[in-house]
Structure 1
Amino acid sequence: MASSDPGCNWDGVFGITNGTAAPDDTAQTNPSHYVYLIGYPILLCCCTMGSLLIVAALLKDSIKTSSTVYLICLAVSDLCVLWSILPDYIVEAQANLGMLNENSSIVHDSIYYKGFGSFWGETATQFSDWTLIIFAVERLVVSLRPLRRRTVPDGFRKAIIVQAVVLFLAILFSLSYLVWYYYYMSVADTCLAPTLPDVLQLCAPALYRWYLLQTDAEMGMWIAKWILLLIFDVSLMAVLWLHWNAMRRHYPGLPVTAAPMTTTTNANATVPRNASIILAGSLTLYTVSQLPLVILTCLKIARRPPYCSYNLTPDAENRATPVVNIISWSNYCMSFFVYCLVSSKFRRQFRSLYRRTSEQASYSASSKRMSAATEIIVLDTTRRDSNERFNRIMSKL
């Protein structure tokens, strides 16, 4: 939209390149869409199975700590992020494969879902990111002040309250998507503008200013969150390294596998160092997977006034976006593998969960076999009794 980028006049920024209209952004003209079409179902399956296993393993713990609350919230929010994309993926996949009819009910329903889907996905994303930040702050405080008295129930209750507040703020921050999209749907026929920003600019200047402010705030917040989590990741790893070096100095012959995984804070509670290791792995995954999206966001900002320092053409943006999105979404489906990689406790829990499920399945199968065998024996016994009664009657005759 030309009016959203006044003053730069980049060639191609407004959908025109060398005087010709930009090509349609489909899988035929943009092969990077195949990365999205193939990669998203794989990420969705991994996220669904991994998140459910994480929640099941955490709920299996007899002692619930604040780390339990944060890890469950992360697993649920990751699940919501990827599932919120599914309706748009179905429409885009059919469009790219040439199977979409513009008058079909799927297209009609997707238009009505767009506002709620954007609201749901943005809420889950903000909730996941800020949960990770709060979890990192708590782990850093615990690592830097290991002798501070705190009880498990107290930390558990505080974590629930904090997460409720974070969820409320995430919902409040994302409400704009509901307002924009449903206003757009109510006036699109009379406003005669092709896109959401054009409708807001022509028919609702106040909402358009809100749209521009929110877009800039989201870009700035995304970069700020990434930098903040990168600092937390480096700080937490440094603290863990210092603790490990101190332990090696006090116990020079202690192997890595024999290192105690908990640090006692009082007589009634233990703070698992395991949670800090899991968090360090999660922060590393986040910073690596979100780096391409941060770079693309910075290039989008550099394209706009007053900077006008980099010409990111629509064609280059369209080619990069599917690949960048898949890399970014991998953050929400790799938690299960990270937990298994860095945490022996999670590996034990997952093995225990698998053994219990296998035992229940085998017991159910053996029970069914025994039930079938019992029915056969009962039928056979009944048949023999009937034959004996019949023979006795016939002998009397």
Structure 2
Amino acid sequence: MMPSRHHAPVILAGIQYRSDMGVRWFNFTVNESSSSGFGLDSCNRTISERENEGAEINLPARWVEIICYPIILAMCTTGNVLVLMVLQPSRPRTTADVYMMALAITDTLVMWLRMPMWIVLVSPDLPDIDLSFATHTTIYAGVYIWLSLALYTLSDGIILTFTIERILLTMNPLSSAGHISPKTAVKILLAIFAFGLLAFTAAGVDYFSRLAAGYDLTGWDHARPQWMAKWMTIQTDIVIALVFVAFLATPTANLILTACLVKGRLKRSRDLGGHASGERTLRSGTRIAFSCACLFTIFQSPGIIFLGLTIADKAPFCSVHFTADARFTLAQLVWLFASLYYSLNFYMYCMVSQRFRKQLCARCSVFSKLFSGLTESRINSISMEVRKASTDALIAGCDLLLNGRKDSHQEH
């Protein structure tokens, strides 16, 4: 039986990508207080064993991952390889290029790390048939937990760093704060990745210490050294905090960036005595950062909802009853959205960056043929419409707010 505190990193890794690991963990914990077919959870609610087993045999939801993973993996690998092919030889290289290449590598690793787990999902009897496969899978699971958490931290950190840089550049274009060099951007990303590796070392050390000692999960819960238990508790708190910080900070940074852009647009309108052109509102790098942050907010929202329901279901909150079937079904939705998030950056990049499209066509002639049916003006028109759509609503809202304030002042 897996202890709630010490194996939370496994759950939180699943919240973004391997959600059903968390479901299995909860199925163990709800039975820990009883050896019969019924038990009490941490909120003293009676949970039947049949309900716990229901999530494990929820085949329709499980087929979501079985079917969709190969398709999404192909989309992710193809798109991210193309990003690297186009941007790696490009000169001069911008910080946007560095961030997008780092995202391409990180997202591809996240998706491919899932492959052994997907094989077990498709063929659950394979570990029993092939003992060598079972041994390697057991060892790999510890590496997967540790490395996936570090990669999630890096992926979130890339988006947040990119957005903050564009905020600084937009607020004060003449300041050196927002004008960091590509080499500095690489150093920042390496520091974030190193932090992720060090911060989540406890998960790997605890996992392999249990294997080396020969304990099962129940035995290790009682035999785990006190210093290890404290270390795991601290790491669990760090993981939970990082999940919420990443989700709250990225949309907040995007709102600040939007506010800066709207403020600049209104200032130009006053200076020109009219309305500033919407095309001048966003620079290329700012459009990319804005779009990446929007993708993050949209596709990671189910994950934060899953985490919130999970916490609310346990003591001391006990405000909702998050059943095993509901957990498993929502976990598959979380997995689907998170996997799509790691696969769509290339397609978003093609849509918002004219420079990248030109580089892509120059690098891969097949895309020149693909776009041959469309004129360059038509492609630019479509791209411009997509770019404007992400800010027009907010700009209109700000305009209405300003007009409302003017009307209020006039009434007074």
Q: Which residue of 1 aligns with 2:98?
A: 69
CA distance in 2, matches of 1:180, 1:168: 19
Q: Structure 1 residue 228 and structure 2 residue 249: aligned?
A: yes
User: Does structure 1 conserve the Cα–Cα contact (< 8 Å) formed by 2:51 and 2:324?
Assistant: no
Are residues 319 and 253 of structure 1, via their aligned partners in 2, closer, same or farther at CA, if it must alter by over 3 Å? closer
CA distance in 1, matches of 2:310, 2:212: 30
Equivalent residues in 2 for 1:129-168, closer than 5 Å: 129-149=156-176, 155-168=181-194
Q: Between Structure 1 and Structure 2, whose CA radius of gyration is higher?
A: 1
TM-aligned CA deviation for residue 103 of structure 1: 4.0
Structure 1, unaligned runs of 5 or more? 262-272, 360-397
Equivalent residues in 2 for 1:1-397, closer than 5 Å: 1=1, 4=4, 7-12=42-47, 17=48, 20=50, 22-23=52-53, 25-26=55-56, 29-95=58-124, 101-149=128-176, 155-188=181-214, 191=215, 193=216, 195=217, 198-206=218-226, 207-247=228-268, 250=272, 259=280, 273-355=283-365
Aligned residues: 332
TM-aligned CA deviation for residue 319 of structure 1: 2.2
CA distance in 2, matches of 1:3, 1:119: 18
TM-aligned CA deviation for residue 300 of structure 1: 0.9
Are residues 10 and 345 of structure 1, via their aligned partners in 2, closer, same or farther at CA, if it must alter by over 3 Å? farther
* Deviation by residue 1:68-93 (Cα, 9 ceiling, x = unmatched): 22221111111111111111111111
Are residues 321 and 253 of structure 1, via their aligned partners in 2, closer, same or farther at CA, if it must alter by over 3 Å? closer
The range that moved more, 201-210 or 83-92, is 201-210
Are residues 2 and 185 of structure 1, via their aligned partners in 2, closer, same or farther at CA, if it must alter by over 3 Å? closer
Structure 2, unaligned runs of 5 or more? 5-28, 30-40, 370-412
* Deviation by residue 1:210-229 (Cα, 9 ceiling, x = unmatched): 33442343223212210110
Q: TM-score, normalised by structure 2?
A: 0.73
What's the C-alpha RMSD, in Å, of the aligned pairs?
Answer: 2.8
CA distance in 1, matches of 2:89, 2:273: 33
Are residues 54 and 183 of structure 1, via their aligned partners in 2, closer, same or farther at CA, if it must alter by over 3 Å? same
> In structure 2, what residue type is equivalent to 1:55?
L
User: Does structure 1 conserve the Cα–Cα contact (< 8 Å) formed by 2:54 and 2:325?
Assistant: no
Are residues 351 and 357 of structure 1, via their aligned partners in 2, closer, same or farther at CA, if it must alter by over 3 Å? closer
- Spell out structure 1 runs of 4+ moving beyond 6 A: 356-359
CA distance in 2, matches of 1:217, 1:308: 23
Are residues 199 and 357 of structure 1, via their aligned partners in 2, closer, same or farther at CA, if it must alter by over 3 Å? farther
Q: TM-score, normalised by structure 1?
A: 0.75
User: Does structure 2 conserve the Cα–Cα contact (< 8 Å) formed by 1:119 and 1:174?
Assistant: yes
User: Does structure 1 conserve the Cα–Cα contact (< 8 Å) formed by 2:107 and 2:342?
Assistant: yes
Identity over the aligned pairs, expressed in percent?
Answer: 23
TM-aligned CA deviation for residue 22 of structure 1: 2.7
Are residues 7 and 111 of structure 1, via their aligned partners in 2, closer, same or farther at CA, if it must alter by over 3 Å? closer
CA distance in 2, matches of 1:65, 1:173: 30
* Deviation by residue 1:242-291 (Cα, 9 ceiling, x = unmatched): 4345556639698656x497xxxxxxxxxxx2011011111000001000
User: Does structure 2 conserve the Cα–Cα contact (< 8 Å) formed by 1:118 and 1:177?
Assistant: yes
* Deviation by residue 1:17-57 (Cα, 9 ceiling, x = unmatched): 1x64732655x533111111111111211111111111222
CA distance in 1, matches of 2:173, 2:291: 21
TM-aligned CA deviation for residue 128 of structure 1: 1.0
Question: Secondary structure at 1:305's aligned position in 2?
Answer: coil
Are residues 10 and 3 of structure 1, via their aligned partners in 2, closer, same or farther at CA, if it must alter by over 3 Å? farther
Are residues 25 and 304 of structure 1, via their aligned partners in 2, closer, same or farther at CA, if it must alter by over 3 Å? closer
